[in-house]
Chain A
Amino acid sequence: MKKTGWFCTYTPVELIHAANVIPYGIRSDSKAEHEDVLLGDSMCSYVRSCMGGALTNVYDDLSGVVIAHSCECMRRLSDGWKFRQNQIKPKLIHILDIPKVVSESSIKFFASSLKRLKNDLEKEYGPISDESIRSSIEKYKITRTLFKEIDDLRKNENTSITGIEIEELVNDYFAIPVEVFNEKLKKFIDSKKDSDSPDSRPRVMIAGGPGNKSLIKTIEESGGLCVAENMCTGLRAFAGTYGEEKDPFDLLARLYLDKTPCPRMLGEKSREKTQELPQLINDYKVDGIIYFSMKFCANMQMDWALLKNHTNLDIPMKVIEGDISSEINEREVYSFIKRLKKRKKKNES
């Protein structure tokens, strides 16, 4: 079965799936970010990893890519991909512009962008009926529902679900067919439903953008428990509320634009993110936040400054600034977890 790559969780993968193609989420695992000699060193490490991967044939098994114009670095990735098109195997390249504000007009405009995406997919993979889009929407709706169930289990104080287990699931979501993934989620839920046991570890929320693969492991090896990942490779990949729209493009446009926002979003939607944070902290019983701010991502860096300087939260927060695949400073994480433990103990007594 053919695969089409996608980069950003604002990409409605349902449309790719409806083309009878596996949507393949491109992560930061190309191991080739230093091979990118095209975009320069002021690009974020995720984009450098993707460009490096493209230039070193990592994505040769893909038949196309949908590059979301989600930020200025992704903009340059789309340039680089087109610029070196003759050296990169995936044939289809579609640049999908994603609005940064949420309004009725931006949803309408985005829906129209999605129709153009469908047209491009059809040129490569053949006709896509509204029926097949609706069927894909239903399948991904199951994914979202199941993930919501897992999230609810994680809100429990004595949850047995670890951040590492969730990270593995998210990795699967990016790579395998949704039908197989849904079965996996069901089994996972069954295995976790009645397995709660007392747990005194400090509960950590990770915020930011695409995560660093060593981060969750380092947090949990340092004695913390990750209970929520407010990032593209976590909560935000499965967030969203289904509306009543009959037209599948309108439905997808609203579902994706109006979901839990990424730091790229602006206006009221962005403010929502800060306003919702206390509720999330309360729901997941979070003891501390680690914000992973990717170097050279202006949106995350600004987001952190807003959070740290102007958001009054009653729990400790720490920023870790780094590359997407760089090593995490274990001592830094360890001392933060130690602080959370002391604080938790003090609060409990």
Chain B
Amino acid sequence: MSHKNIVKENTEARIIQLKNFLKANGLGDIKPEDAVKMAFMSDYETLSPSAKRGYVNAKQFFNAYNMNISGEFEYHHVAWRSLFVPTEIMYAMNLIPYTTEMVASQLAMSGSSSERIETAEASNFSGDLCSFMKTVAGGVIENIFPTPDILLTSTHICDPSAKYAEIASHIYNRPEFVLDIPYGIYDLYMNRKTRDDEERIDEAVEYVTQQFYEMIEFVREKTGLELDEEKLKQICIWTNEARKWLDEGNNIILYERTSSKKGIKELDYAANLMQTWGTEEIVDVYKSRYEDYKKNQHEKREITQPRIAWFHLRPYFKNQLMSYLDEKIEISGSQVNFVFFDELDPDDPVRSIARRTVLHPGYSSVMARTSIAIEKIPEDTSGIIAYYPKSCRHFHGGAIMENEMFKTAGIPILTIDGDCVDDRGDDFPIVKTRVDRFLKAISK
């Protein structure tokens, strides 16, 4: 199909899809343009850093349905993105990333993920599949997501995400490009000893660099969109600035103290998963977060609440656990906000993005990623709470080894087997008992 026809089809489809999305969220009586206006009623400048993050995400979300923030039509080229595909190149090609896992968590927040999961399970998606992807599969069946112009996926970290994109590509009849990211390079990088090891790392970076160039050509061929090289340079500069502010904010909460109310909002930055890397707005979000923490920074004082480092994500559906924890603990850091990568090189952007992708510590052995945490967690951390969805083979599957390593290092850890978007098995009283026991143990 020509891209002209794709645009025509998408324009018509997205009108229906936005209506369907609103209906699935109990907003079927509201006109789409009014829903958009309602989402952007507050002035951006007056928002808290966390709300600014939400604003940027919401703007991109509605853009994907061809709506600008005034509720007017504006066509956007949308790239369906699996969670770990870098976004900088997409922005430099005028593509809006649409990250399905993020939408799944958004549906969970509005209490409408379980219905989508049930739709998927009734349509041959197995019960033990990743609940994020089941939410997405259900949403696609119900036609609530915007038809993409193109799908850009990658093989690293998460199997179901890339595998589901293949199904989505088939359903929407849109082209898909898959980036193959070699495994084990971060482990090699951490333990490199020989010239041969260095060469292998360079070879992996080169392999992924070439694939990025192939992806750029693929997008150009399928959509007619060109890579703006000057824009990519600027985007890399924005990523570096955002990275700096994120890191400085992290340093305050990890190594200093701030009275700024963070709570679970700190977890929602989920910086390593965000699709906003490479936008000017995300620089402001992380800068505002830093300034907020800095303004409220104070001397270390006697700690009244245990300082807990949080691993992985949180339940996004309405739950009692997180508000309970908000009262009981101070979240001193979040694994998903950890700045793991070096600055990008604006003069060699594609290669430096490839290097960051290949050296993602999340795509390493449990031993490597746990070692980083043991090294980075400040000594005054009381313990770790790891919240792992049982359907996540990558993280949940390593939990026992991780536990052993932390215990050997003298860091108490509580692993909660839960779910992020599927509330059907949520049992707060049982989890509360485990949390209370853990907090009591670390207070001793």
- Asked if residues B203 and A305 are in contact (CB atoms below 8 Å), the reply is no
B364: shortest Cβ distance to chain A, in Å? 9
Residue A95 CB within 8 A of the other chain: yes
Q: Do A76 and B211 form a contact, CB below 8 Å, given A38-B401, A83-B367?
A: no
A42: shortest Cβ distance to chain B, in Å? 5
- Asked if residues A306 and B166 are in contact (CB atoms below 8 Å), the reply is yes
Query: Quick one: which of B137, B183, B392, B397 contacts A97, CB cutoff 8 A?
Result: B183
B244: shortest Cβ distance to chain A, in Å? 32
CA distance A69 to B180 in the complex (A): 13
- Asked if residues B366 and A76 are in contact (CB atoms below 8 Å), the reply is yes
CA distance A15 to B124 in the complex (A): 40
- Asked if residues B400 and A267 are in contact (CB atoms below 8 Å), the reply is no
A82: shortest Cβ distance to chain B, in Å? 7
- Asked if residues A305 and B124 are in contact (CB atoms below 8 Å), the reply is yes
A319: shortest Cβ distance to chain B, in Å? 7
- Asked if residues A38 and B400 are in contact (CB atoms below 8 Å), the reply is yes
Query: Quick one: which of B137, B182, B401 contacts A305, CB cutoff 8 A?
Result: B137
Cβ of A86: which chain B residues have Cβ within 8 Å of it?
A: none
Q: Do A109 and B178 form a contact, CB below 8 Å, given A298-B163, A302-B129?
A: no
Cβ of A309: which chain B residues have Cβ within 8 Å of it?
A: 123-124, 167
- Asked if residues A95 and B398 are in contact (CB atoms below 8 Å), the reply is no
Residue A282 CB within 8 A of the other chain: no
Residue A286 CB within 8 A of the other chain: no
Residue A79 CB within 8 A of the other chain: yes
Q: Do A82 and B365 form a contact, CB below 8 Å, given A39-B397, A69-B184?
A: yes
Give the size of the chain A interface in residues (CB under 8 angstroms).
52
CA distance A267 to B155 in the complex (A): 10
Query: Quick one: which of A42, A267, A319 contacts B396, CB cutoff 8 A?
Result: A42
CA distance A308 to B123 in the complex (A): 9
Query: Quick one: which of B130, B170, B203, B400 contacts A306, CB cutoff 8 A?
Result: B170
- Asked if residues B365 and A310 are in contact (CB atoms below 8 Å), the reply is no
B195: shortest Cβ distance to chain A, in Å? 13
B124, B159, B401, most chain A CB atoms within 10 A: B159
Residue A170 CB within 8 A of the other chain: no
Residue A75 CB within 8 A of the other chain: yes
- Asked if residues B176 and A305 are in contact (CB atoms below 8 Å), the reply is no
Cβ of A75: which chain B residues have Cβ within 8 Å of it?
A: 183, 394
B222: shortest Cβ distance to chain A, in Å? 14
Query: Quick one: which of A43, A116, A306 contacts B167, CB cutoff 8 A?
Result: A306
Binds B, one of A2-10, A99-107, A174-182: A99-107
Residue A73 CB within 8 A of the other chain: yes
Q: Taking chain A's interface residues, is the majority helix, strand, or loop, or is none over half, making it mixed?
A: helix
Residue B54 CB within 8 A of the other chain: no
Cβ of B123: which chain A residues have Cβ within 8 Å of it?
A: 305, 309
A103: shortest Cβ distance to chain B, in Å? 8
Q: Do A100 and B180 form a contact, CB below 8 Å, given A83-B366, A309-B123?
A: yes
B189: shortest Cβ distance to chain A, in Å? 14
Cβ of A76: which chain B residues have Cβ within 8 Å of it?
A: 366, 393-394, 397-398
- Which residue of chain A lies nearest to B199 when distances are taken between CB atoms in the complex? A112
- Asked if residues A43 and B182 are in contact (CB atoms below 8 Å), the reply is no
Instruction: State which residues 24-76 of A face B: CB under 8 Å.
Output: 37-40, 42-43, 69, 71-73, 75-76
CA distance A116 to B170 in the complex (A): 37
CA distance A72 to B159 in the complex (A): 6
Cβ of A128: which chain B residues have Cβ within 8 Å of it?
A: none
B52: shortest Cβ distance to chain A, in Å? 34
Cβ of A71: which chain B residues have Cβ within 8 Å of it?
A: 159
CA distance A303 to B166 in the complex (A): 10
- Which residue of chain A lies nearest to B415 when distances are taken between CB atoms in the complex? A40
- Asked if residues B367 and A79 are in contact (CB atoms below 8 Å), the reply is yes
- Asked if residues A40 and B399 are in contact (CB atoms below 8 Å), the reply is yes
CA distance A218 to B207 in the complex (A): 46
Cβ of B391: which chain A residues have Cβ within 8 Å of it?
A: 42
CA distance A112 to B155 in the complex (A): 19
Query: Quick one: which of A37, A43, A83, A319 contacts B397, CB cutoff 8 A?
Result: A43
Closest 5 CB pairs of A and B: A302-B163, A301-B126, A76-B397, A298-B160, A267-B178
27 residue pairs of the A-B complex, CB under 8 angstroms, read: A38-B401, A40-B396, A42-B128, A42-B396, A43-B393, A71-B159, A76-B393, A78-B365, A82-B365, A82-B367, A83-B366, A83-B404, A99-B155, A105-B207, A106-B180, A109-B203, A266-B163, A270-B166, A298-B129, A298-B163, A299-B159, A302-B125, A302-B166, A305-B137, A305-B167, A306-B166, A321-B126
Q: Beyond A39-B398, A266-B163, A298-B163: 8 further Cβ-contacts under 8 Å? A: A39-B400, A82-B365, A99-B180, A100-B180, A108-B207, A298-B160, A299-B159, A308-B124
